Amino acid sequence: MSAPVMALRRCCQRSALLMVARRPWSSSSVSSPPLHTRFLLFLTQRFYDVEMLLSWRSQQRRNGIQRRNAYFGYTRGLYGADIASAYYILSLRGGFRYVGQSDWFRTDRRGKFNWDFLTHKDTPLEEVDMSYTVINYSGLGNLKGQKSLRTLSVRGCPEVDDWFLARLHVFQDSLEELDISHCPHITTGGLSALKNLKGLRRLDVSSLPRISSPGLVVILLEEMLPHCQIIATGYDHSLRQEGGEEIEEQGQRR
Amino acid sequence: MSTCRRLHVTVRTARGLFVSRRQTRLCGHLPSSQSLSTGTLLRNDFFKDLESQFSAMRKKASDALPGSSWSPLQINSNLPPERADIVIVGGGVVGWSIAYWLKQKERVRGGVKVLVVEKDLTYSQASTVLSAGGIRQQFSLPENIHLSLASADFMRNINEHLGVLNEDPVDLQFNHSGYLFLASEEVAHIMEENYSTQRNAGAKVSLLSPTQLKEKFPWMNTDGVVLASHGLENEGWFDPWTLLNAFRRKALSMGAIQCCGEVTDLKYRTSRILSADGDEMDLRRIGSVKVQMPNSLEYQPVECAIVVNAAGASSARLPEMLGIPLPVEPRKRYVYVVHCPDGPGLDTPFLVDYSGVYFRREGLGGNYIAGMSPEEGEEPDTSNLEVDHQFFEDKVWPRLASRVPAFEKLKVTSAWAGFYDYNTLDQNGIIGMHPLINNMYFATGFSGHGLQHSPAVGRAVAELILDGDFTTLNLSGLGFRRVLAQEPMLERNIV
Ligand SMILES: Cc1cc2nc3c(=O)[nH]c(=O)nc-3n(C[C@H](O)[C@H](O)[C@H](O)COP(=O)(O)OP(=O)(O)OC[C@H]3O[C@@H](n4cnc5c(N)ncnc54)[C@H](O)[C@@H]3O)c2cc1C
């Protein structure tokens, strides 16, 4: 038997097994990927080589993100924790403001930034804007020591997930404003971890696509964080839909 | 599938026979046959009948012929292979985790042939799907803390580990609400000690005084509490079924083989060895396992090099077949689902009270699940999974309501029971090889925290098998030595 036919047969067997493994009621809400990706995925069902290539590519992507979020231990050793945090933020194209200063340090569109931030040794950060960057759970380790961080924005960050939110407890005494809007991975399971942020005054949870019944969640959030102003725009609060979802939830429960 | 194919083939051969007959007939009486075929429908039916009868006859004849390849065994296509390198008994979360890690660690594709034998693919009795789904770092033994930390790390990156190309990403539905342990006067010092062990191991836990507790969770009645510890990170609960399926899906996609059947017997050889003290002992080596197919008398012996015992609550049965006792037995635990619209909200942690009762939130609609372990002398009968509702009324509810006054007005909406894989020696997992069974590895006895430890336990067992020793987490403390020496390694619990 020729090699491609063998591969095909193996694939068929395998896909049959996968069918068995799949959860009977798994109907995910993931939108379908663009055409070329779908074509490649189609090819992976036929050929191991394409599958290898694709998984290698996604591995490379993950490694890249991981590298950019790596621990800035060297900088920390040379310049101290605050400069290391600052450098990490700028290298990820974010922005920040030192305590007691009015101007922000930011990276421009071409990735260039002002090296003057090095002159502020041992000045902690007060405001950090990481919106639309690839900051993730491990990257947060670079900001861990910032005990006077008051404002953090991770608006629209594709790598911010529930585990990230759970790790925000490192700022539990200082953080007052948090913007987690437009993050594609955040679910209700992570929002409950914000309980640990004692001083939170303002929380932006707008347009989180994976929150299933936003009306109810916002009410519960307000209940959980009584001193905090919750901003939630970008949700369709029509009653009919919400009611439907609640019933659906009831049905799923045992 | 193969039954189908076989059937197809027999039909084809039968048809071939008939067609050739008809052809000879046609040759002989061409005109008359023509008139027949244009004639009545009845005749057509007659020939169809005849055709089917002939094919049945032909089939019978070929089956009865000596030397035909037909045999009743082939009908069951779900039979396991005759040989496998590693047979994992029990397809619960622990079993599939081991299968995944074995395939993950193999050097070449298809390097080890891993067979997972599960007797009930609906998992109606498996503790995995009947558990409460919690994960915590608040243990007192460093081994358990490290197991939880490693497993939490695994779950954080679950799609890197268990994601399958072209399939939906895994969504564990992890709730990061943390565990909250409450301690009374008598046990507060234990909590403090545990706290420092946990911090040293790297767990993010914080201690709370009753005032801080009241401030953080205003819905709670803090009477009797002198200290509380709250997990800040990596603690909460998730959907056990999703984890089990993710492991299974990935392991299958990597080439592990699944088989539905029960391991009912083991074939083994014994050899005499001398211990260091000069005692004679029997060393057993398993040659094959007998896999009994469900609802039939059929069975298949599977020759194997290594057997992994991940059979959960009933895992003591396998070593029993070899005459070796294992201190693991099923113990029934109830979980009650209660509805209470005024109960605590989104911030409800997985609360474990010093009175023994626990509860957590379930979804967002004012539902909670609660339970507690019965006292040692009052263990319920384990022959079935029936729920004792009186236990809730008498034991669980009063304790719940005294801790959370809103629970005075709760309603039980449903309940279920599951079996703990209860280690009667010290309620901790047994991981490793029995010194007197040459090739059986154990991963059982987790007594209520097996689900959360399964990712790390799977890795550890795969290391033991493929690398010969633990390479990431040293779990030799959880091995068989303590069982044989009868030296329990107890958790210092506050409950
Ligand atoms: C009520 C309850 C609450 C719990 N809560 C938690 C919790 O919050 N957190 C936590 O971490 N853990 C919890 N646990 C414990 C946890 O569920 C178990 O420790 C864990 O699921 C054990 O997994 P397993 O794969 O070893 O066993 P199982 O899931 O029981 O799987 C064993 C499988 O082996 C099969 N099997 C047995 N014998 C044979 C045989 N001879 N041949 C073939 N197949 C066989 C069985 O059919 C079964 O499917 C809880 C348990 C219960 C009962």
CATH of residue A148 = 3.80.10.10
CA of B33 relative to ligand 1 center, distance in Å: 69
Total domain count, chain A: 2
Q: What's the pLDDT score for residue A34?
A: 79
Tens-digit pLDDT profile for residues B437-483: 999 999 999 999 999 999 999 999 999 999 999 999 999 999 999 99
Specify the DSSP element, H or E, that contains A9: helix A3-21
Q: What's the pLDDT score for residue B31?
A: 43
Q: What's the pLDDT score for residue B40?
A: 57
Q: Which domain holds residue A18?
A: 3-66
- Is the confidence at residue A22, as pLDDT, over 60? no
Identify the weakest region by mean pLDDT among B17-21, B96-100, B118-122, B430-434: B17-21
Q: Is A148 on the interface with B (CB under 8 A)?
A: no
Same domain, A86 and A56: no
Neighboring chain A residues of B165 at a CB cutoff of 8 Å? 41, 44, 51, 54-55, 58
Contact B462, B101 (CB under 8 A): yes
- Is the confidence at residue B8, as pLDDT, over 60? no
CA of B237 relative to ligand 1 center, distance in Å: 16
Is B329 near ligand 1, meaning CB less than 6 Å away?
no
Tens-digit pLDDT profile for residues A105-148: 999 988 899 899 999 988 999 999 999 999 999 999 999 989 99
CB proximity under 8 Å: B 128-147 to A: none
Give domain status of residue A75, yes or no: no
Q: What's the pLDDT score for residue B77?
A: 65
CA B275 to chain centre: 36
Q: What's the pLDDT score for residue B67?
A: 62
Q: What's the pLDDT score for residue B196?
A: 96
Same domain, A137 and A233: yes
DSSP structure class, residue B132:
-
- Round the CA-based radius of gyration of chain A to a whole number and report it: 22
Over residues B309-314, the mean pLDDT reads 96
- Is the confidence at residue A236, as pLDDT, over 60? yes
Residue B285, classed as helix, strand or coil, is strand
Q: Write down which residue in A12, A33, A66 finishes a domain.
A: A66
- Is the confidence at residue A88, as pLDDT, over 50? yes
Q: What's the pLDDT score for residue B165?
A: 81
Identify the weakest region by mean pLDDT among B152-156, B163-167, B270-274, B477-481: B163-167
Q: Whose CA is nearest to atom 27 of ligand 1?
A: B312
Q: Whose CA is nearest to atom 19 of ligand 1?
A: B450
Is B128 near ligand 1, meaning CB less than 6 Å away?
yes
Neighboring chain A residues of B337 at a CB cutoff of 8 Å? 253-254
Neighboring chain A residues of B347 at a CB cutoff of 8 Å? 192, 195, 224
Pairwise CB contact (< 8 Å): B253 & A18: yes
* Burial status of residue B401 (CB atoms within 10 A of its CB: 0-12, 13-18, 19 or more): middle
For residue B346, the distance in angstroms to the closest alpha carbon of chain A comes to 6
Contact A161, A186 (CB under 8 A): yes
Confidence of residue B278 (pLDDT cuts 50, 70, 90): confident
Pairwise CB contact (< 8 Å): B346 & A137: no
Q: Name residues whose C-beta falls within 8 Å of residue B418's C-beta, 6 or more positions apart in sequence.
A: B125, B127, B130, B131, B332, B333, B335, B385
Specify the DSSP element, H or E, that contains A6: helix A3-21
Q: What's the pLDDT score for residue A46?
A: 73
Do you know the residue count of chain A?
Answer: 254
- Round the CA-based radius of gyration of chain B to a whole number and report it: 29
Amino acid at the residue B327: P
Tens-digit pLDDT profile for residues B312-323: 999 999 999 999
Q: What's the pLDDT score for residue A238?
A: 59
Q: Is A15 on the interface with B (CB under 8 A)?
A: no
Same domain, A169 and A48: no
Residue B158 has φ and ψ, to the nearest 5°, of -60, -30
Q: What's the pLDDT score for residue A14?
A: 46
For residue A82, the distance in angstroms to the closest alpha carbon of chain B comes to 23
Q: Which CATH number fits domain B1-174+232-327+424-495: 3.30.1540.10, 3.40.50.20, 3.40.50.300, 3.50.50.60?
A: 3.50.50.60
Same domain, A220 and A193: yes
Same domain, A48 and A19: yes
Same domain, A92 and A62: no
Pairwise CB contact (< 8 Å): A253 & B178: no
- Is the confidence at residue A47, as pLDDT, over 90? no
- Percentage with pLDDT > 70 across chain A: 80
How many CB pairs lie under 8 A apart between chains A and B?
Answer: 114
Q: Write down which residue in A42, A66, A90 finishes a domain.
A: A66
Do you know the residue count of chain B?
Answer: 495
Same domain, A206 and A184: yes
Q: What's the pLDDT score for residue B69?
A: 58
Instruction: Please state, rounded to an integer, the average pLDDT across all residues of chain B.
Output: 89
Q: What's the pLDDT score for residue B416?
A: 96
Same domain, A129 and A231: yes
Separation of alpha carbons A65 and A63, rounded Å: 5
Tell me which chain A residue has its CA closest to the CA of residue B168: A28
Separation of alpha carbons B457 and B88, rounded Å: 14
- Is the confidence at residue B128, as pLDDT, over 90? yes
Alpha carbons within 13 A on the beta-carbon side of B449: 24
Separation of alpha carbons A180 and A161, rounded Å: 10
Confidence of residue A51 (pLDDT cuts 50, 70, 90): confident
Amino acid at the residue B340: C
Over residues A160-182, the mean pLDDT reads 96
Q: What's the pLDDT score for residue A40?
A: 77
CA B227 to chain centre: 36
Instruction: Please state, rounded to an integer, the average pLDDT across all residues of chain A.
Output: 83
Same domain, A193 and A136: yes
Is B134 near ligand 1, meaning CB less than 6 Å away?
yes
* Burial status of residue A16 (CB atoms within 10 A of its CB: 0-12, 13-18, 19 or more): exposed
Q: What's the pLDDT score for residue A13?
A: 47
Q: Which of A13, B450, B203 is nearest to A5 (CA)?
A: A13
Same domain, A55 and A93: no
Q: Is B346 on the interface with A (CB under 8 A)?
A: yes
Contact B247, B238 (CB under 8 A): no
- Is the confidence at residue B1, as pLDDT, over 60? no
Give the atom of ligand 1 at the shortest distance from the alpha carbon of B452.
Answer: 11
Give domain status of residue A72, yes or no: no
Q: Is A247 on the interface with B (CB under 8 A)?
A: no
What is the residue extent of each domain of chain B?
1-174+232-327+424-495
- Is the confidence at residue A26, as pLDDT, over 70? no
